[in-house]
Structure formats: C-alpha cells, structure tokens
Amino acid sequence: MTDKAHALDLVLSRRSVSPRFLVAPTPTPDELALILRAAAAAPDHKNLKPYRFILIPPERRGDLAAAFRDAKAERDPGAPAAEIERAGEKAYRGAMLLAVVLRIVRDHPRVSVSDQMLSAGAALENMLLAASALGYAGCLRSGNSATSRRVRLALGLPNEEELAAFLMLGTPAKEPRPREDAPADLLSVWK
C-alpha cells in the first residue's frame, strides 16, 4: 500500500473502542505530544484553539470517581447506592484518560461559536486518528454526570470553560467492528 492509501485506510477504518477494552500500554509522553500536535493541526478559524485537555493521572482517578458519584447523587437524588457506585466506576475506565475542555469565545467578533465547536470536533478526530496511526485506539464519552458542574468544579475549570467529554486512549484489547459504508444521504446536489 502506498503511504497515501495507507493514510486513507486509517481514516476509513477508524473505530472507537469501548473504554473497558482500552488497556496498557498507553501512548508514551512523546506519542502523546504527537497526538496533541495532531489536535492542533485541525482547521482553526483565527487560531483560537477553542479547546484544551487535562490528563487525569492514575493517582487522581479516585478523586474523579468521587466527583462522578457526587454528580450522579446531585442529578438523581433518589438513585440507589449501587447506581451511584457504578457512576464512580466509570472514572477507572480507559488506560489513559483526558478531560476535553472547550474554551469557546462566545462574543468573538469574527469567529462564531459553531466555528469553534467544529474546530474542537476536528481536533478530537485528529487525535483519534493519530492514536490509531500509532497503534492505539480511543473513545469519547460524555454523559450527564461526567460533564456536570460538579466534575467541572472538581477539575478546577473556570466558568468560561466547559467540560465537553472525556477522551480515553489505550491499546485495544478487542478488535472493533468494521466500519459500515457511509449513508447515501450525506451529499445532495442543490437543484
């Protein structure tokens, strides 16, 4: 396969792998730096970089779990203890865990909020693709508790930043399903 065909194959075949199946080894610091360069290579109107990432080291997973449990209890006060416990367990999934933070400039004179959101999405896809190119896989998870005010405060985000999702990376312990064909209605012709 030529380099170009290989690059295209990587894009066409990328699949998310469930966090439970993202195991060690994880990207090395140099590989993570490459993955972040891939994020920064995404199209970005006026180069605002309307996103950033917070690496959750293994020793802080317990604190994140506590924040997830608090968030679940706050959102669903009648939830049984087992459900609250389960909300906390999500903090331990995925061998490498990064919080995805949006820092959108809401009143930018030239760059709309949607431009900035799209840029962040493109950055995330670039990260997933870079991780795949390095032999890893990844997955995005949001969810009401995970991205709640409680968790945002626990991570120390200021008011103007939003906790959008968590990005998990690792070695896939399971072969992902092959990608289906693109739906036929992705493109129409303006008549």
Ligand X SMILES: Cc1cc2nc3c(=O)[nH]c(=O)nc-3n(C[C@H](O)[C@H](O)[C@H](O)COP(=O)(O)O)c2cc1C
- Report residue 61: phi and psi, to 5°: -60, -35
The least CB distance from residue 109 to ligand X, in Å, is 27
Query: Within 120-139, which residues bind ligand X (CB under 6 A)?
Result: 139
Nearest in space to 134 (alpha carbons), one of 2, 34, 29, 8 = 34
The least CB distance from residue 190 to ligand X, in Å, is 28
16 forms part of the interface with ligand X (CB under 6 A): yes
Locate tokens 């590989």: which residue? 31
Residue from 113, 143, 155, 171 binding ligand X (CB under 6 A):
143
171 forms part of the interface with ligand X (CB under 6 A): no
Residue 168 CB-density burial (10 A; 0-12 exposed, 13-18 middle, 19+ buried): buried
15 forms part of the interface with ligand X (CB under 6 A): yes
Task: Please name the helix (run of DSSP H) or strand (run of DSSP E) that holds residue 100, with its range, or none.
Answer: strand 96-102
Residue closer to ligand X by CB (options 154, 165) is 165
Where do contacts with ligand X occur on this chain (CB under 6 A)? 15-16, 139-143, 165
